[in-house]
Amino acid sequence: MSAGVPDKDVHISLEDQQKINKFARHNQRMEELKDELKSKQNEIQTLVDATNDVEEFSLTAEEEDKIPFQIGEIFIMETADEVQTLIQKRKEEAEEEVKQIESRVEQVKGVMSDLKTHLYAKFGDAINLEAED
């Protein structure tokens, strides 16, 4: 064996293994939150599009014309103004959910950053904690 080659066997204590596992769980949670965030953002865009469609409908429709609006698994018939109000309410709820998800993402990022700092300080190049995109 050559004397200049460092030993690649790194001792991993139980505490270190638990930190690695915690990082992996948080990394998985981060991916789930990103998917959830993307889904909510798509929902908001759909609601914006629906608002535009209802506005167009209300310009050409009679005052008493009604639009089907889905609540759960059923559709109810409502006026354009009422549908606008219902869509706006759903949009505000989705935007609030986006804020909550973003807050959870920041919390998870903070924990992951602390774990990365500790694990890289101990293991250096012997460990890879970067996402493979």
Please compute, for residue 71, the number of CA atoms within 13 A of its CA located in the half-sphere on the CB side.
8
Q: Does residue 7 have a pLDDT over 80? A: no
Alpha helices in the chain (DSSP H): 14-60, 80-123
Instruction: Determine phi and psi for 70, rounding to 5 degrees.
Output: -85, 130
Measured CA to CA, the distance from residue 104 to residue 35 in angstroms comes to 13
10 or 61, higher pLDDT = 61
**Cα separations (Å) of 63 from 2, 54, 79?**
88, 13, 8
Q: What is the pTM of this model?
A: 0.79
